[in-house]
Structure 1
Amino acid sequence: MLDLRILLPALLLVCGLATVLAQSSAPGQVCEANNGTSCEQCLQNVTCLWCITTKTCLTYPVKTILPPHALCPLNNARWGLCWINFQTLIITFAVIGGVIIIAFLVCLFCCCKCENCRSKSFESKVQRQTDKLKTKQDERRAEMKQRHDEIRKKYGLSGQNQYSRFA
């Protein structure tokens, strides 16, 4: 089984090249002229679709995204490369697209959640530092007040304020 790391870019490259070549192909080439040939010869013109069951080369129905079942069943229709059928291609792109969308949503959810966790932890860290600084400041104030009280006692200034009796 092919590795998805190789298969996905190859499919995208084939689809991209087929689209570019389809836009630049000459309209004079008719796919039905390649009936009775091989799949590789039919698919040289990117506007052609090869149906394995009927072994016919058909003009790709551009107006509908997928060829109708009456024209050719999806698991028997080949376009671009003979080994890729539409059914496998649709399932592969749907699964890969779903995985990419889910991965994007999970990353988005995780990043937002982690950002909230980081901001909460940052806020709590800042709050702890603020509380710590405030506690140290209160301790210093208490020490300074105690020193001032000791100095006042030493020099006999610990009584009432001299000017309080005039008030």
Structure 2
Amino acid sequence: MYFLAESRLDVSLVLFIFVGCSIISQGNCVTTTSVPPPQKQCNTFSSCETCLQNVSCLWCNTNSTCLDYPVRHLLPPSSMCQLSQARWGVCWVNFEALIIAMAVVGGTILLSIVVCCCCCCCKRRKSGLDREEERYAQRREEIRKRSETRKAERKARHDEIRKKYGLIPDADHPYSKFEND
């Protein structure tokens, strides 16, 4: 749970999933066994608008016909209708442009997700490096303080020794009056 608490995004995502699962688990499952109305055959439609109201149909502009969408293939084969002339979903966008637009949108979404993940990872890594630098700075400061303390202690000991042997000119030292003559 520690890694989830580092980012608000992670916490909000977990909260969203938790609330969503609890709402879904409270709902009652209702099944209806109503028979769907029989659908007309695609070849009976004569206009693009009426043809594309049925999602299992495909409109071909080259010969103005409504065809059954080939569900075995992801894309309709060119022998059936050219992609630039095929319409599915809406009449004003050809299948080729629809595929290109969906690829661009999907690629943009994937790219933005990758960039966001990289930014989050770099931010976490940078904050980890900042913490590491801060720890090193604290260690250096502690070492410097200890060094200064030891240096002051050494200087005090050396001054005591100098004072004891008269190496420091001091007025209250008994031999100082002979040195001034």
Fold shared, TM-score > 0.5 on shorter chain: yes
Distance in 2 (CA, whole Å) between partners of 1:26 and 1:88 is 33
Q: Distance in 1 between matches of 2:84 and 2:113?
A: 31
Q: 1:93 aligns with which of 102, 126, 134?
A: 102
Q: Tell me, which stretches of 5 or more residues in structure 2 are unaligned?
A: 1-34, 166-181
Tell me, in whole angstroms, the C-alpha distance in 2 between the residues paired with 1:94 and 1:25: 33
- Structure with bigger strand share is 1
Q: Which residue of 2 aligns with 1:33?
A: 44
Aligned Cα RMSD in Å? 2.8
2:55 — aligned with what?
46
Confirm whether residue 140 of structure 1 aligns to residue 162 of structure 2.
no
Q: Is the partner of 2:93 in helix, strand or coil?
A: strand
**Structure of higher RCO (CA pairs closer than 8 Å, 6+ residues apart):** 1
Residue-pair matches, total: 131
Q: TM-score, normalised by structure 2?
A: 0.60
Q: 1:26 to 1:60 in 2, by over 3 A?
A: farther
Looking at structure 1, the residues matched to 89 and 145 of structure 2 have their Cα atoms a distance apart, in angstroms, of 76
The amino acid that maps onto 1:66 is: L
The one-letter code of the counterpart of 1:30 is Q
- Unpaired segments ≥5 residues, structure 1: 1-23, 157-167
Percent identical among aligned pairs is 40
Q: Which whole-Å deviations, capped at 9, do the CAs of 1:77-115 have from their partners, x for residues lacking one?
A: 111111121100111122222223333333333433343
- Identify the residue that residue 119 of structure 1 maps to in structure 2: 128
Match of 1:19 in 2: none
- Judge conservation of contact 1:25–1:45 (CA < 8 Å) in 2: no
